[in-house]
Structure formats: C-alpha cells, structure tokens
Amino acid sequence: MARPFLRQCSKLLAKIPVIFPHNSFAMLREGDIFVHDKASECYSTVMLYPIVRPLARQALRLNFRRMYFSNFDRIPKEGPVILAVNHPTAFIEPCVLACFQARTLHYLVRGDFFAKPVYRFLLENTNMIPIYRRKDGGLTKVKDNYATFERCYDALHADRALMILAEGRCIHEKRLRPLQKGVARIAFGTYQKYGMEDLQIIPIGVNYTDSNAFRSELMIEVGEAIQMRDYLATYRDNGQRAIRELTDELARRLAQHLIIIDRPEDEVLTEHLFELHRHNQAYQIWPIASSLPQRFRSEKQLADWVNAMEVEQKRDLKRRVGAYFSALENQGLSDFGLVQPQHYSPQNTVVLIIGLLPFGLGLIGNAAPVALARWVGQRLVRTVEFRHSVKLASALGFYLVYMVFLLALAVGSQNRNLLLGIVLLPFWGYFAILYQELWERWRMGRRVRQSPDQTIAGLRAQRQRLVESWR
C-alpha cells in the first residue's frame, strides 16, 4: 500500500514548481524522479527527491560562504549523460550537483550504506544505487553489482543523468587519485546492451578551500564532454584498450579542472599562498553563488606554479612565507586584518552593538540542533573525510525535527507572538553567523589599528615581497 500512496503523492508534488538558481522556475515532471522497482524491474516515481533537494540547497547555501559555478551550461539539459566527479568528501559534492543544476541525478553509492532498512528506503528514494566492494560482504555482494550495472544501463537508456565519483574512494586532499574504470565500463555496457552511441561523459572538478570546514568556499568547474562514440571503433576491436583510453582521457580532463598540490610536503606553503591571494580580494557577503571562473583559475595557476618550482627556489619561498606568518602570530595579528583593516570602523561598531540582541536570539534559539550535530560528527565519525558531511546532514535532520517540534508547541499554545518568533528563528540563526563573521573581521582590523605603525609597515613590506614573487 505504501508504494501506490507514494506514487500519488509524487504526481501531486510534480505539479509544484521548484526554484532553481540558474533557471528561474522549472517544473518537475512525472518520470523525472524514479527509483528501482524490484518487482517490476522498472522505474517508478517517488516523492522524496523533490522534497530533500530544496532543503539541502538551503543547507548548502548556509554551509558555504561563497560558491563558484563555472560552465554549468556544458551539462546537457536532456539525453543520457554520466557526470564524472572527483571525490574529496563523503557526499557533499553529490549534494551540491543535485541542488545547483536543473537535472535530476542518480548516483552510485557504497553498498554497505544500504544494510539497514531505514537507510535503504531513504537512499533508494533519493535515486541512489548501491555499488558493492569485496569488504562489504565478499564475492556474494560483489556479484550484486551485476544488477547495479543493469540499473545504470537502464537509467541511461531512459535518457537520465548518472553521477559517478570517479576516484572510487574519498580522501581529504587536493590531488587527483587514479580513476576507477567504472565510468568507462558503464558507458560501454550501455552501448553493448542498447546500442546507444550518443552517451556523453562530463568531467566535473569540485574544489574546496577547506572541505572539512564550515563556511569555507567551493569552486566547481564543468569540463567539455567526452563523446563515447569517439571510442566505439576501438571498443569493437579491443574492449579493454578502449576502457583504458577513455579512463585516461577522463583523468586528463578532470585534472584540468582541479586545484592540485602534487606533493604533501608543499601543502602548507601552497595553502599559505592561497591565503595571501584570497585576502587581496575584496570581502563580499553576497551573492553567495557566482559564475565567475577567475577565482578557480587564479588559484590553479598558483598551485601549478608551486608544483613546477625548482627545489632551491621552493625552499627559499617556504622560509620566507614561514617567517612572515610566524611574525604575524607573534604580534597576535592575521593576514586578513593586515590587508583589510577597514572592517574596524565606526559603522561596523554600531552594527555590532545594535545586532547584539538578535545575535543572542539566533545563537541561543538555534543552539540545540547545531550542538547535537557537532557532537555526532566529533564523537561518532572516525574518518575525517566523512566528518563534515555527517555534521551537515545531521544538522539538517535535527533542525527540521527541532522546528517541527517548536511549531507544534506554538500552534498548540495559540500564541501568535511565539509562533512568529519560531518562524523567524532560521533567519536569526543566519544573522548570528554573519554577525560572528563581522565580529572576526572587526576584531582583526582593530588589532592592526592598535599596533605600532612601524610594525605594520614592516609586515606589509614583507608581505608585498611575497606577493610579487608569483606575479
């Protein structure tokens, strides 16, 4: 009885417009959202995906201070397509791509997540397909991947969009690891089963300033499509060679859209240079989402410059950069405050004073679900790559339950003022975040303004020499 009910709900929900960032309004159609039906071996509409997507979109807008989306028009609006993406976090990049481009996506997800019935229901009804590893249950579970591949073939044959995390496992680092062959195998498997030649593979690079930090920044670069038909002649002659060639080409194109630090020992140096570069840019609060590609290009050029640097030159630069940041630390200063001390101003002082009360309301009123999500991430998640993803998902889930509970209390009390206050809680919460960020900028600027002029002048001269070294 549950499935017919979900179908009816989905039909009603499909008539409701959903706001997308790049197309003002887009209508969800019946058939755009589907999951595998084991009984009929077909796909049927469900309701969870269009419910989760707008909620997740708002959570991501809160999580990232700024997001840069470049070349999203390269993702075809219709037809079969595989989105091949790098994998630095547990599941933030799939969420971002699901929320900030118009097509409904389907994903390959680790099969062990489907072990519990509740998780399985949620995952399958948000278009996730299990892919099993040997350690998830031995050869028996690995054999289940035959059914997984069939589901992928069927989805692509139905002109759906399939997203695959091409590296296979997530590691919190700015490098591209060797790609798995799954993308190529699914592409050629679809051709083998249905004779499809128009399948496209889109390389997408996802870059974070810090993938494990709240209010970091995100840069997504969409590459030019790889046409599967270009490899069909090779595939008919030698299937394994075609798989290798397509995988190698995908790796080459993905690398073009990633900020890569080749050597682990260069990470501290490169991140410090990123910091210097970022603080040269004017601080902006809005818009949260931007399509300007300059941010990605400048940081990629900087990382490539460090990667290509001679050993002696790099050693000298590390010494000078380390000396500069050590000098800042000794003075209790920050690079941002040194470059942009104007945030310590009478206007911002007034804003901080006036905003103290709503800040307190936002902080206290939203503290419970945030603290609980933080506890879950810190105490229950061992792997750093999963920690922030789990915090974000937990915060969203806890916050929804929290708001429903408070709204029920307010409606039951029939107190209009209480109801209005609860409705405004999310807005006060967002204000509290912006208030904290303004306070930090104000505080850093204040430290610079109160420091001796000679000290500040020396640090700025030291910094200028570092910046000029890569210009």
What's the pLDDT score for residue 195?
95
Residue 390's alpha-carbon distances to 59, 90, 176, 205, 372, in angstroms, are: 13, 8, 23, 22, 12
197-231: per-residue pLDDT in tens? 999 999 999 999 999 999 999 999 999 999 999 99
Q: What is the domain partition of the chain in residue ranges?
A: 55-260, 342-450
**DSSP character string of 353-400:** HHTHHHHHHHHHHTHHHHHHHHHHHHHH---HHHHHHHHHHHHHHHHH
Give the Cα separation of 202 and 380 in Å (integer).
35
* CATH code for the domain defined by 55-260: 3.40.1130.10
CA–CA separation, 180 vs 188, rounded Å? Answer: 14
Residue 139: pLDDT band with limits 50, 70, 90: low
Mean pLDDT over each residue of the chain, to the nearest integer: 88
Q: Measured in whole angstroms, how far is the alpha carbon of residue 31 from the centre of its chain?
A: 26
- Tokens at residue 452, please? 């001796």
pLDDT > 70 fraction of the chain, expressed in percent and rounded:
88
Q: How far is Cα 335 from Cα 341, in angstroms, rounded to an integer?
A: 10
Whether residue 135 has pLDDT greater than 80: no
pTM of the shown model: 0.87
Average pLDDT over residues 307-322: 96
> Bigger pLDDT: 332 or 41?
332
Taking CA 123 as the corner, what is the angle to CA 118 and CA 125, rounded to the nearest 5 degrees?
100
More confidently predicted of 429 and 29? 429
